[in-house]
Structure 1
């Protein structure tokens, strides 16, 4: 299979000048440090240098800001962040998550430290039981995942009724720096199924050949073994990160070497996620398919 293309067109939009801080602001310095840590991990895991440079540029901007990031979010929402140099929609979302929770799911994922249950327990009204079900049954990883599931109507957890969903949506809107609640879900661009299957194939081939950096996930890994390969790739305007699934269900069904979770992000867009599996039923049995997009044209290739 040919290597994925590695060309992209950077954003050339001109943004307004920012006011530099006369002395560092602790909140901003902390966020900048996380952005730089993320860039360092991208480099160490073989990601394309363009993406790492983008996060370092954003870190430089954040560290020099005169206003606290939390103040910008509170008064202007994410639009206030996107108006800053070097900060697009995706990085603005990361900053909002860090300010709201002190954590960043993308960074924790690359470190193997992802613990979504702890994140969900930080939401008022969500105790250990619901946090566990949001992570394992609904397969959610971040506050943005939860917010999107609420707005799209995709969240179906027993005990979380209409009133509680409204309260959760309002809480998330405030914590994630929304100026106002969205009344309808915003459509997110999706990479073609064929492109996702290319990434899936590349990941499994490189993992089998031992060519990928491995991380030691914190969940379901009592011995702390570095067993989980990670792939970073680019195709046109898309960035991809792929892992074998490390969910409770994947372990219970012995699918940790079959199910591949692919995170994708177009330039200036929020991150999305899909899972590629080997179909076990119907005319596509034995073929790789993108879950949730079975009705679209899939490459009929064997697993």
Structure 2
């Protein structure tokens, strides 16, 4: 019942924050399906894995991933993001082998937010952290595989598409213009916000067949460099693919100085390198 309630809350926050297309309806339909089940969703997951969730009406890959995260950790990063409560270091500490220090390092620059991010980093990214040997890395990878109900090799995971750079820059411009005009809902992030001020604008939009959620970066690094109003984090999703993430910043050096550049999330499979394009 808690998972059904969280799916419904997510749908409500999407609507409250300006999302006016089918995504809220999709999450609300999934909430109704989960609430009407005659046995716990955790039992269905334990017996049949991710495939059993996807087989349920109104529950595709994206919502199945959300349910798995909630069942495994009691948290849901996407919901916490919209609430302004996202704290990756707390989530990472739920994984055996990750203590407070390592969790803080993983979350410090805002590169990793979710267990999916962490799993991708271990298998495809740069996870060569000091003090993390092969045995500990394997323990963390095994715990993540179990938590995320991975029953096959990670190289067979469903791929997430990447929006065209021109489209990301268009979304970046729209977000910054609306934020400057005070036209967006403000949320009060819990991290790095001791006064609990509602300062972080959030925008939801649909362009072509892409769904976007856009916020300024609230990472430690962005605060340290005074870039919280320059670094734009764009979460993107199409159809029922996993959510992806890109960052748009103003370049400060080289041939792209003064231009907005798109930095693909290199933790994703199939991610492309940094693509500097278009004037700010």
- Normalising by the smaller structure, the TM-score range is over 0.9
Following TM superposition, by how much is the alpha carbon of 1:294 offset from its aligned partner in structure 2, in angstroms? Answer: 5.5
Match for 1:148 among 87, 108, 120?
120
Alignment correspondent of 1:75: 47
Match for 1:56 among 25, 28, 37?
28
Following TM superposition, by how much is the alpha carbon of 1:76 offset from its aligned partner in structure 2, in angstroms? Answer: 1.6
Counterparts of residues 76-115 of structure 1 (less than 5 Å): 76-115=48-87
Greater Cα shift, 50-59 or 156-165: 156-165
- RMSD across aligned C-alpha pairs, in angstroms? 1.5
Alignment correspondent of 2:278: 300
Residues 39, 56 of structure 1: 8 Å contact kept = yes
Q: Runs of at least 4 residues of structure 1 off by over 6 A?
A: none
The two structures have a TM-score, normalised by structure 1, of 0.86
Match for 2:15 among 43, 59, 81?
43
Task: Tell me the distance in 1 between the aligned counterparts of 2:181 and 2:273.
Answer: 29
Residues 215, 228 of structure 1: 8 Å contact kept = yes
Please tell me whether residue 169 in structure 1 is matched to residue 141 in structure 2. yes
Residues 173, 180 of structure 1: 8 Å contact kept = no
Alignment correspondent of 1:208: 180
Match for 1:268 among 229, 233, 240?
240
* Cα displacement string for residues 112-155 of structure 1 (whole angstroms, at most 9, x for unaligned residues): 00111111111111111000001014721111110111121332
Which secondary structure does the structure 2 equivalent of 1:243 belong to? Answer: strand
Alignment correspondent of 2:269: none
Task: Tell me the distance in 1 between the aligned counterparts of 2:141 and 2:153.
Answer: 8
Number of matched pairs? 273
Task: Tell me the distance in 2 between the aligned counterparts of 1:114 and 1:59.
Answer: 22
Alignment correspondent of 1:117: 89
In structure 2, do the counterparts of structure 1 residues 186 and 138 end up closer, same or farther at CA, with 3 Å as the change threshold?
farther
Which secondary structure does the structure 2 equivalent of 1:291 belong to? Answer: strand
Alignment correspondent of 1:17: none
Greater Cα shift, 208-217 or 275-284: 275-284
| Higher Cα Rg, which structure | 1
Which secondary structure does the structure 1 equivalent of 2:204 belong to? Answer: strand
In structure 2, do the counterparts of structure 1 residues 149 and 87 end up closer, same or farther at CA, with 3 Å as the change threshold?
same
Following TM superposition, by how much is the alpha carbon of 1:47 offset from its aligned partner in structure 2, in angstroms? Answer: 0.7
Counterparts of residues 236-247 of structure 1 (less than 5 Å): 236-247=208-219
Residues 151, 184 of structure 1: 8 Å contact kept = no
Residues 212, 230 of structure 1: 8 Å contact kept = yes
